[in-house]
C-alpha cells in the first residue's frame, strides 16, 4: 500500500465489502500511507448490509462499519454503497429508510445496478431525488454492455466515476477524452471533488491509462495532478 500511495492519491477499497474490520485493523492499513498526506481510502459498504440484509435490519453492522472507519482518520474518502443487481425499485422503501438513518458526517456515493431503476422515468427520478435530498453522491459506471449506468446524474458537488477500459483499445482514449470534456463542464458549474476509479480488463494497463487521463485533465482544467511513474522493463 505504501508504494501504491506514492503513485495514486486514492483507492477503491474492496476489503471492507467482505468483512467488517475493527478500527485497530483499519489503522494498520492507514499507517502504511501515513506519509502521503492527501491519499484517500474509498471503502465499500459491507456486503452483509447491502447484499445479504438488503439494507433491512442493518443497524448493528452499520454501526460497526462506521466505528471501523475511524481507523482511516484523515485518509477517509467517499464510502461506496453498492447495491446488488437484484436490488430493484421494489426495495425503494428500504433504501429510503436506510439512507434516512445514516450519519451523514461521512461522504457516501450510491451505486445501483438493477436495470429497472433506469427503465422507468419515475423510478429514476425518485432515486436521484432521494440522494439530492440527503446530500449523497452517485456512482457513474462507464463500462461496455451497460450504457444505462452511465447516467450522468450528479446529486451533490462530487463526481464518482468507475471507468472500465478495454486494455488501452483506441476507444479507451476516446472515452477518456470525452470524460475530460464532461468534467470540465461540471467544474465550470461548481464541481468540487472528482473521484475517478480506473479499471482495465488487465490491471497492468491501469497506470498508463491514468497517466493519459491525468495529463489531459491538467491540460484542460489547469490542475496540477501528479501522474504515476511508469517503469518499463
Burial of 9 (0-12, 13-18, 19+ CB in 10 A): middle
Cβ atoms 164, 144 nearer than 8 A: yes
Give the pLDDT confidence of 129-154 residue by residue, as tens digits.
999 999 999 999 999 888 999 999 99
pLDDT value of residue 140: 98
Question: Comparing 4-8, 19-23, 128-132, which segment has the lowest mean pLDDT?
Answer: 4-8
Instruction: Domain of residue 60: give its range.
Output: 2-137
Size of the chain in residues: 233
Has residue 47 been placed in a domain? yes
Regarding whether 110 and 168 lie in a shared domain, the answer is no
Regarding whether 76 and 131 lie in a shared domain, the answer is yes
Regarding whether 114 and 14 lie in a shared domain, the answer is yes
Average pLDDT value for the chain: 95
CA distance 42 to 18: 14
CATH number (domain holding residue 21): 3.20.20.410
Prediction pTM value: 0.94
- Sheet containing 108-111: order of strands: 79-82, 108-111, 137-142, 158-165, 193-200
Amino acid at each position: 500500500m505504501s508504494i501504491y500511495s506514492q503513485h495514486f492519491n486514492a483507492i477503491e477499497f474492496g476489503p471492507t465489502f467482505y468483512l467488517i474490520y475493527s478500527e485497530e485493523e483499519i489503522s494498520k492499513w492507514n499507517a502504511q500511507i501515513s506519509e502521503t498526506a492527501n491519499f484517500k481510502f474509498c471503502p465499500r459498504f459491507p456486503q452483509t448490509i447491502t447484499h445479504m440484509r438488503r439494507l433491512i435490519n442493518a443497524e448493528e453492522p452499520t454501526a460497526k462499519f462506521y466505528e471501523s472507519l475511524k481507523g482511516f482518520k484523515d485518509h477517509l474518502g467517499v464510502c461506496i454503497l453498492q447495491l446488488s443487481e437484484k436490488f430493484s425499485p421494489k426495495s425503494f422503501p428500504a433504501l429510503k429508510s436506510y439512507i434516512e438513518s445514516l450519519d451523514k458526517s461521512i461522504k457516501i456515493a450510491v451505486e445501483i445496478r438493477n436495470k429497472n431503476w433506469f427503465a422507468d422515468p419515475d423510478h429514476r427520478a425518485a432515486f436521484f431525488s432521494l440522494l439530492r435530498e440527503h446530500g449523497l453522491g452517485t456512482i457513474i459506471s462507464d463500462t461496455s454492455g451497460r450504457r444505462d449506468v452511465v447516467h450522468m446524474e450528479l446529486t451533490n458537488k462530487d463526481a464518482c466515476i468507475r471507468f472500465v477500459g478495454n486494455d488501452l483499445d483506441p476507444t479507451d482514449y476516446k472515452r477518456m477524452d470525452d470524460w475530460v470534456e464532461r468534467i470540465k463542464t461540471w467544474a465550470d458549474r461548481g464541481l468540487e471533488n472528482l473521484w475517478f476509479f480506473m479499471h482495465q480488463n488487465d490491471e497492468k494497463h491501469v497506470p498508463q491509462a491514468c497517466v493519459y487521463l491525468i495529463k489531459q485533465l491538467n491540460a484542460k482544467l489547469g490542475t496540477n495532478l501528479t501522474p504515476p511513474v511508469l517503469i518499463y522493463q
